[in-house]
């Protein structure tokens, strides 16, 4: 550093620094460079405690983690070489975790550089180094949101993000029943599984059928359940209706009973041979409908059950919104001679839809992923010839049976990636809507 | 047609629709209830109104040495209470931070949480299985609770955050003027005001273990740690027709307390979900 330059600067800004001689020859770039070894830059900034903590923490992390991280990521590439001693799945788990930890590690490292730079700049401008008490207070004051968010985010990364990454990785391996650890090693196979999914007739037929039914199921079941709920909520909300409490209580009942039980009860009721629906209702008309064994009837039954199960939640939601609409609107409409349909169309509808749109959209995504009802009702069946998916299988239940029944992990993973793409596209769409929806105040 | 005629006609239309809905809703529930009271196990001979009522299936659940029902009930309660408490505390403080603080990465974390809530936990089950296996949490309640708490976190987070956003900031700012710290503001001001939505989240998270049979099916191995959902599902899955009456009795005993709690909290559900939705 050029001493003359420093002198000149120092004399020039003497008054501003107010008797802190080392003030402005303090160099943020130097601090940042020193912090390449965590803590040194902070020491240079005369933040002693912080510097020592960073130094100890940084060095011990580097010493403890560098080798395992490199080893882990290496394992991710090779997936093991000796089936006797190595388990590819374990290597994959370790590799992905190393990757996540590594990224977090670099994030911290970067923050350390930034911190050194920030403190040095402050010092250069003559801001006093805060006392230790002040520093602790500040870090609680400014750091509070981070203390809360960061640990939870790490847990989320482990329990939600990591498993998704793992699933994505499996789609590019050859992991299935016949080639499974610990007896065999896994290999990366590139896009071979996707190629099979789209070109081999069994797979492409199944995929097409499942995707088509998933779309129909999501749209039809959810739309019907929302419409029914809306209709009933408006009816019951009519001021002339008596016994509102009792009516609402009964209408909420299907939501209050655990769904896995009601679905199983329905499975028994729809049973082709002994089911109550055929025996008690349709037998009067001389009919016996193959609810569980015919694809079309099974689909109709499952949609009806979902409407039964799903409408109470939306009903509750809409009832809440209806009660919050101010009466003035309707009175104003009465004065202007608005018909009932017009009041519904121009007051009720916009209010309810505006208020509940995000939650209603979530209903669609809920049904898209509604594994429980599909699996419990008929395990995705009845089976269809020439396909390895059942007639009522939606993507998620197909993934489940591929994974846990057939142990065909690679194909299950490939299918779930396709599912993930659909979900992500949908989510992006929703984000854009939500953002334009409520720009102000929300985020 | 005069006005009162029309009115009466409309009202009977509405009540007719409500009555039809009542029938549709109550039919399966009543059917299941009557199954549980039917003596014998054969589904073929069952009647909607049994000739002679019997409580033998309920007795079987509690007294037969082959029945693990009470054990399952206890397990589920442990998991449900732990999940409810942990979820409510984590979710409410996270929602507080997201609703009241501006910090680096806030927007992106909100988007990440929004995105994550779309992916079903099921998609990563194989990995969760292996992960829990590596940290020795497989076949433990701790592992199960962890998955429940963090798997269900994003969805409930937005319910609470949306509700907190509707509470005026002036309240906590004036408290801050008076020298209240973050935790004081959180516990003394926001929690009491957000009670309805917190009750809703407590209810949802408490009930999740009663409803879900998939996660424990994968994580829990030993039969003595089964929750009700897995236990009953496996029980009925073995011999569907033969075990159905006992299954019905077992489910009725779960459904009744849950339905009662649910209906008692109905007011909260309507106002909590409604308000959160209106302004969240």
The ipTM of this complex is 0.81
Does residue A205 sit in the same domain as residue A298? yes
As a whole number of Å, the end-to-end CA separation of chain B is 46
B266 CA: distance to closest CA in chain A (Å): 8
Concatenating the DSSP letter of every residue in chain B gives: --HHHHHHHHHHHHHHHHHHHHHHHHHHHHHHHHHHHSSSS-STT--SS-SS---HHHHHHHH-TT--HHHHHHHHHHHHHHHHHHHHHHHHHHHHHHHH---TTHHHHHHHHHHHTTS-GGGGHHHHHHHHHHTT-TTSHHHHHHHHHHHSHHHHHHHHHHHHHTS-HHHHHHHHHTT--HHHIIIIIIHHHTHHHHHHHHHHHHHHHHH--HHHHHH--SGGG--HHHHHHHHHHHSHHHHHHHHHHHHHHHHHHHHHHHHHTHHHHHHHHHHHHHH-
Distance between CA A211 and CA A217 in Å, rounded? 10
Q: A253 and chain B: CB distance < 8 Å anywhere?
A: yes
A263 CA: distance to closest CA in chain B (Å): 10
- For residue A2, the model assigns a pLDDT of 44
CB A391 within 8 A of CB A381: yes
Chain B residues lying within 8 Å of A246, measured CB to CB? none
Interface contact A266-B269, CB threshold 8 A: no
Does residue A212 sit in the same domain as residue A127? no
How far, in whole angstroms, is CA A124 from its chain's centroid? 44
State both tokens at A117: 């730079």
Does residue A120 sit in the same domain as residue A208? no
Residue A233 lies in a domain: yes
- Using left for φ > 0, alpha for ψ between -120 and 50, and beta otherwise, residue A126 falls in left
Q: Which residue has the higher pLDDT, B91 or A155?
A: B91
Is residue A134 pLDDT above 70, yes or no?
A: yes
Does residue A142 sit in the same domain as residue A200? no
Does residue A131 sit in the same domain as residue A197? no
Distance between CA A424 and CA A357 in Å, rounded? 18
Angle at B21 between CA A252 and CA A250, to 5 degrees: 30
The string of pLDDT tens digits covering residues A170-184 is 899 888 888 877 778
In this prediction, residue A209 has a pLDDT band, given cuts at 50, 70 and 90, of: very high
Contacts with B, A 273-312, CB within 8 Å: 273-274, 276, 280, 308
Coil, strand or helix: which one is A188? Answer: strand
How far, in whole angstroms, is CA B104 from its chain's centroid? 34
Q: Which residue of chain A has the CA closest to B133?
A: A90
Residue A137 lies in a domain: yes
Does residue A197 sit in the same domain as residue A164? no
Q: B135 and chain A: CB distance < 8 Å anywhere?
A: no
Chain A residues lying within 8 Å of B115, measured CB to CB? 424, 427
- Which of A160, A250, A434 minimises the CB distance to B116? A160
A178 φ, ψ (degrees, to nearest 5): -85, -20
- For residue A240, the model assigns a pLDDT of 86
Interface contact B25-A372, CB threshold 8 A: no
Q: What is the mean pLDDT of residues A428-437?
A: 62
Share of chain A above pLDDT 90, in %: 16
Range of the domain at A283: 193-437
How far, in whole angstroms, is CA B29 from its chain's centroid? 19
CB A119 within 8 A of CB A31: yes
- Which of A156, A265, A355 minimises the CB distance to B116? A156
The string of pLDDT tens digits covering residues A301-325 is 999 999 999 999 999 889 888 888 8
Coil, strand or helix: which one is A176? Answer: strand
Say which residue the tokens 């020298």 belong to. Answer: B179
Residue A178 lies in a domain: no
Does residue A165 sit in the same domain as residue A211? no
The string of pLDDT tens digits covering residues A330-372 is 888 888 888 888 888 888 888 888 877 777 887 888 899 888 8
Query: Of A155, A170, A185, which residue constitutes the final position of a domain?
Result: A170
- For residue A434, the model assigns a pLDDT of 58
Query: Of A138, A155, A170, which residue constitutes the final position of a domain?
Result: A170
Residue A93 lies in a domain: yes
For the whole model, what pTM was predicted?
0.79
Does residue A329 sit in the same domain as residue A388? yes
Kindly give the confidence (pLDDT) of every residue in chain B, 280 residues in length, as a single tens digit, with 9 standing for 90 and above: 677 888 889 889 999 999 999 999 999 998 888 888 887 766 655 566 666 777 888 888 888 888 888 999 999 999 999 999 999 999 999 999 998 888 878 888 887 887 777 777 777 888 888 888 888 898 999 999 999 998 888 878 888 888 888 888 888 888 888 888 888 888 988 999 888 889 889 988 988 888 888 889 889 988 889 998 888 888 887 776 677 888 888 888 888 888 888 778 777 777 776 665 554 4
> Closest Cα to residue B104, out of A149, A38, A103, A99?
A149
The secondary structure of A330-374, three-state, reads HHHHHHCCCCHHHHHHHHHHHHHHHHHHHHHHHHHHHHHCCHHHH
Distance between CA A210 and CA A387 in Å, rounded? 10
A191 φ, ψ (degrees, to nearest 5): -95, 20
Distance between CA A411 and CA B101 in Å, rounded? 44
Does residue A9 sit in the same domain as residue A90? yes
Does residue A140 sit in the same domain as residue A274? no
Does residue A13 sit in the same domain as residue A109? yes
The string of pLDDT tens digits covering residues B203-215 is 889 888 888 888 8
- For residue A213, the model assigns a pLDDT of 94
- For residue A36, the model assigns a pLDDT of 84
A332 φ, ψ (degrees, to nearest 5): -60, -40
CATH number at residue A265: 1.10.3720.10
State both tokens at A184: 């065999």
Query: Of A106, A135, A170, which residue constitutes the final position of a domain?
Result: A170
The string of pLDDT tens digits covering residues A8-41 is 444 444 444 444 445 567 788 888 888 888 888 8
Interface contact A260-B212, CB threshold 8 A: yes
Element (H, E) at A58: helix A48-78
> Closest Cα to residue A429, out of B157, B278, B114, B107?
B114
- Which of A90, A258, A420 minimises the CB distance to B210? A258
State both tokens at A157: 């990364």
- For residue A68, the model assigns a pLDDT of 84
Interface contact B118-A424, CB threshold 8 A: yes
In this prediction, residue A6 has a pLDDT band, given cuts at 50, 70 and 90, of: very low
Q: Which residue of chain A has the CA closest to B261?
A: A256
Burial class of residue A260 in the structure, from the number of CB atoms within 10 Å of its CB (0-12 exposed, 13-18 middle, 19+ buried): buried
DSSP A383: B
Q: B131 and chain A: CB distance < 8 Å anywhere?
A: yes
Contacts with B, A 60-79, CB within 8 Å: none
Interface contact A238-B29, CB threshold 8 A: no
Distance between CA A187 and CA A83 in Å, rounded? 12
Coil, strand or helix: which one is A173? Answer: strand
Interface contact A423-B106, CB threshold 8 A: no
Q: B45 and chain A: CB distance < 8 Å anywhere?
A: no
Residue A176 lies in a domain: no
Chain B residues lying within 8 Å of A154, measured CB to CB? none
In this prediction, residue A186 has a pLDDT band, given cuts at 50, 70 and 90, of: confident
Contacts with A, B 49-88, CB within 8 Å: none
Residue A442 lies in a domain: no
Interface contact B248-A265, CB threshold 8 A: yes
Chain A residues lying within 8 Å of B46, measured CB to CB? 274
> Closest Cα to residue A163, out of B151, B220, B86?
B151
State both tokens at A407: 């142990």
- For residue B1, the model assigns a pLDDT of 60
Residue A270 lies in a domain: yes
Count: domains in chain A: 2
Cβ atoms < 10 Å from Cβ of A396: 23
Q: B119 and chain A: CB distance < 8 Å anywhere?
A: yes
CB A116 within 8 A of CB A35: yes
> Quick one: CA torsion of B10, B13, B15, B18, rounded to 10 degrees?
-130
Q: A264 and chain B: CB distance < 8 Å anywhere?
A: yes
Does residue A204 sit in the same domain as residue A149? no
- Which of B44, B150, B274 minimises the CB distance to A320? B274
Coil, strand or helix: which one is A208? Answer: helix
Q: A423 and chain B: CB distance < 8 Å anywhere?
A: yes
- Using N-to-C axis directions, what is the helix angle for A88-124 and A162-170, rounded to 10°? 130
Is residue A191 pLDDT above 70, yes or no?
A: yes
Question: Looking at the DSSP assignment, which residues form a beta bridge with residue A383?
Answer: A390
Say which residue the tokens 């082959």 belong to. Answer: B66
Sign of CA dihedral A100, A106, A109, A114: negative
As a whole number of Å, the end-to-end CA separation of chain A is 46
Q: B258 and chain A: CB distance < 8 Å anywhere?
A: yes
Contacts with B, A 127-146, CB within 8 Å: 144-146
Residue A186 lies in a domain: no
């Amino acid at each position: 550093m050029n001493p003359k330059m420093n002198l000149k600067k120092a004399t020039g800004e003497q008054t501003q620094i107010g008797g802190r001689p080392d003030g402005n020859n303090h160099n943020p770039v130097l601090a940042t460079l020193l912090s390449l070894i965590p803590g040194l830059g902070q020491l240079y900034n005369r933040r002693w405690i912080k510097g020592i903590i960073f130094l100890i923490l940084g060095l011990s992390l580097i010493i403890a983690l560098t080798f395992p991280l490199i080893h882990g990521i290496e394992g991710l590439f090779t997936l093991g070489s000796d089936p006797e001693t190595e388990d590819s799945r374990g290597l994959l788990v370790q590799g992905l975790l190393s990757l996540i930890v590594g990224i977090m590690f670099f994030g911290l490292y970067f923050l350390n550089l930034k911190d050194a730079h920030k403190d040095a700049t402050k010092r250069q401008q003559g801001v006093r180094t805060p006392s230790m008490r002040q520093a602790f207070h500040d870090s609680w004051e400014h750091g509070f949101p981070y203390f809360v968010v960061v640990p939870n985010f790490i847990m989320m990364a482990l329990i939600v993000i990591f498993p998704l990454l793992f699933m994505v990785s499996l789609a590019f391996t050859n992991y299935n029943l016949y080639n499974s650890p610990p007896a065999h090693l896994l290999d990366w196979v590139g896009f071979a599984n996707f190629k099979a999914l789209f070109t081999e007739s069994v797979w492409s037929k199944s995929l097409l059928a499942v995707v088509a039914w998933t779309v129909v199921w999501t749209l039809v079941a959810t739309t019907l359940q929302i419409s029914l709920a809306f209709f009933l909520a408006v009816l019951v909300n009519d001021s002339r209706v008596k016994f509102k409490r009792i009516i609402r209580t009964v209408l909420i009942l299907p939501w209050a009973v655990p769904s896995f039980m009601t679905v199983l009860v329905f499975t028994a009721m729809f049973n082709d041979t002994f089911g109550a629906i055929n025996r008690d209702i349709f037998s009067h008309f001389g009919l016996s409908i193959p609810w569980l064994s015919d694809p079309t009837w099974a689909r109709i039954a499952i949609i009806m059950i979902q409407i039964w199960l799903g409408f109470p939640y939306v009903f509750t939601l809409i009832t809440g919104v209806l009660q919050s609409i101010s009466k003035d609107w309707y009175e104003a409409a009465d004065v202007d001679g608005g018909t009932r349909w017009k009041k519904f169309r121009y007051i009720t509808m916009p209010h309810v839809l505006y208020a509940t749109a995000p939650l209603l959209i979530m209903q669609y995504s809920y049904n898209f992923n509604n594994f429980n009802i599909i699996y419990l009702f008929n395990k995705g069946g009845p089976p269809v010839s020439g396909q390895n998916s059942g007639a009522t299988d939606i993507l998620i239940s197909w993934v489940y049976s591929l994974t846990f029944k057939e142990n065909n992990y690679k194909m299950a993973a490939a299918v779930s990636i396709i599912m993930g793409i659909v979900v992500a596209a949908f989510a992006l769409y929703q984000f854009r809507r939500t953002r334009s929806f409520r720009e102000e105040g929300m985020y | 047609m005069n006005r009162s005629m029309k009115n009466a006609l409309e009202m009977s239309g509405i009540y007719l629709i409500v009555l039809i809905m009542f029938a549709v809703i109550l039919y399966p529930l009543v059917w299941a209830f009557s199954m549980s009271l039917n003596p014998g196990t054969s589904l073929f001979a069952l009647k909607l109104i049994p000739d002679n009522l019997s409580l033998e299936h309920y007795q079987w659940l509690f007294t037969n040495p082959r029945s693990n029902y009470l054990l399952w009930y206890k397990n589920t309660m442990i998991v449900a209470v732990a999940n409810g408490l942990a979820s409510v505390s984590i979710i409410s403080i996270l929602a507080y931070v997201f609703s009241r603080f501006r910090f680096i990465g806030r927007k992106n974390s909100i988007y990440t949480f929004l995105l994550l809530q779309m992916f079903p936990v099921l998609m990563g089950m194989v990995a969760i299985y292996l992960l829990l296996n590596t940290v020795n949490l497989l076949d433990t309640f701790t592992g199960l609770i962890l998955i429940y708490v963090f798997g269900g976190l994003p969805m409930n987070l937005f319910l609470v955050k949306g509700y907190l956003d509707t509470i005026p900031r002036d309240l906590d700012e004036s408290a801050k003027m008076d020298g209240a710290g973050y935790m004081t503001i959180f516990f003394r001001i926001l929690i009491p005001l957000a009670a309805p939505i917190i009750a809703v989240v407590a209810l949802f998270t408490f009930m999740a273990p009663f409803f879900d049979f998939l996660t424990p099916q994968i994580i829990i191995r030993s039969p003595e740690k089964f929750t009700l959902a897995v236990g009953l599902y496996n029980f009925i899955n073995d011999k569907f027709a033969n075990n159905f009456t006992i299954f019905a009795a077992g489910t009725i005993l779960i459904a009744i307390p849950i339905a009662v709690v649910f209906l008692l909290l109905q007011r909260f559900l309507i106002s909590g979900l409604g308000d959160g939705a209106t302004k969240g």
